[in-house]
Amino acid sequence: MRILVFGRVGQLGSALAELLPGHHEVTFLDQPEVDLSQSENVSNLIAEYAPALVINAAAYTAVDKAETEPQLAHSVNADAPAAMARSCQIRGVPLIHYSTDYVFDGSASVPYTEDAVVAPASVYGRTKLAGEQAVARETDHHIIFRTAWLYSHIGHNFLKTMLRVASEGKPLRVVDDQIGSPTFAWDLGIASVAAVDALEEGREDVYGIFHATNSGLTSWYGFAQKIFEVAGIDTVDLSPIPTESYPTPAPRPAYSVLDCDRLYRVLKVEMPDWQDALARCIARL
Ligand SMILES: NC(=O)c1ccc[n+]([C@@H]2O[C@H](COP(=O)([O-])OP(=O)(O)OC[C@H]3O[C@@H](n4cnc5c(N)ncnc54)[C@H](OP(=O)(O)O)[C@@H]3O)[C@@H](O)[C@H]2O)c1
């Protein structure tokens, strides 16, 4: 299959670069070839590469910075995916796109299903929701994976930050009252490959939103504890704090566990437990 992927250098893009090739003919586009804040270039690029499938692994992901750069975040997270979806619809090709648990307000106490009520509390969450809605409006032939707490051995993320701060010997105070599912970008990549395979088979039942996170749940503090345990680091001064002791420009959902049942039912992808995923990721550092 001829596939055009926007964004290779990020966490998910790096996973796709390793997992997708095989029998596919894949082209990855990054800056400076494409600047997704200028969405008018998108349709020309899709016309030029004439793919049978477009995947958008790129996004504006600086959650706190988005509070002061709402227009830039909206251009990359909503206008560019809208342009991709419009172009895909005209060319009759499907689009795989990614979104976030931050489309939810975090007031639930059971896992969010794909059709749960969305109410993002941050600029980032609102721009990602606008992107989802634009993609769905422009083409029925879309797959949107909502994921959460993404990390990898490549790129910037919570895992890397914990290991760096620990190596500096500084005490660590980590939030213990936000609950979610840490997700290894490679496992999201594997779910994405299952979607590509299903599209290649011509399946019509695979469109729409899928929740895709590693299974199980923890807090950021629990995630940090497990990181140090798996990495064999027992010298860290680590303690739990409430969210109110660590104010951030963008509010985070208190609870953002996603129900991934549709992913299993439709694509037969069973997402591994987050602790198993963390061990596989740390082994690659
Ligand atoms: N990270 C998380 O915790 C998390 C959680 C839930 C959902 N998600 C979603 O999952 C998807 C993948 O996230 P990720 O963690 O892999 O992201 P990431 O590591 O931050 O990578 C983002 C990618 O987008 C590219 N990009 C950003 N601005 C661009 C622009 N103006 N023009 C072209 N490319 C641009 C980056 O390229 P440069 O480096 O060159 O800028 C990079 O390739 C995204 O849709 C994200 O919203 C992420």
Could you report the per-residue pLDDT of 174-190, keeping only the tens digit for each? 999 999 999 999 999 99
What are the distances in angstroms from CA 85 to CA 79, 130, 211? 10, 13, 20
Ligand 1 centre to CA of 211 (Å) is 18
Q: What is the pLDDT of residue 13?
A: 98
Mean pLDDT score, 164-168: 94
Is residue 131 pLDDT above 90, yes or no?
A: yes
With bands split at pLDDT 50, 70 and 90, how would you rate the model's confidence at 143?
Answer: very high
Nearest protein Cα to ligand 1, atom 1:
150
Distance CA 6, CA 36 (A): 9
> Rounded distance, CA 141 to CA 55, Å?
12
Answer whether residue 153 shows pLDDT above 90. yes
238 forms beta bridges with 172
pLDDT at 22 > cutoff 90: no
Q: Which residue's alpha carbon is at the smallest distance from atom 44 of ligand 1?
A: 59
Q: How confident is the model at residue 23 (pLDDT cuts 50, 70, 90)?
A: confident
> Is 124 assigned a catalytic role?
yes
**pLDDT, mean of residues 218-246:** 97
- What is the DSSP secondary structure assignment for residue 272, as one 8-state letter? P
Classify domain 2-156+182-215+258-272 at the CATH class level.
Answer: alpha beta
Residue 21 reports pLDDT greater than 90: no
Phi, psi of 62 (to 5 degrees): -80, 90
Distance 145 CA to ligand 1 centre (A): 14
Report residue 16's pLDDT band, with 50, 70 and 90 as the boundaries: very high
State the catalytic residue, choosing from 98, 124, 151, 207.
124
Pocket test for ligand 1, best of 150, 153, 184 (most atoms within 8 A of CB): 150
User: Could you read off the pLDDT of 46-84 as tens digits, one per residue?
Assistant: 999 999 999 999 999 999 999 999 999 999 999 999 999
Give the strand pairing for 25-29 and 2-6.
parallel
pLDDT (average), residues 128-140? 98
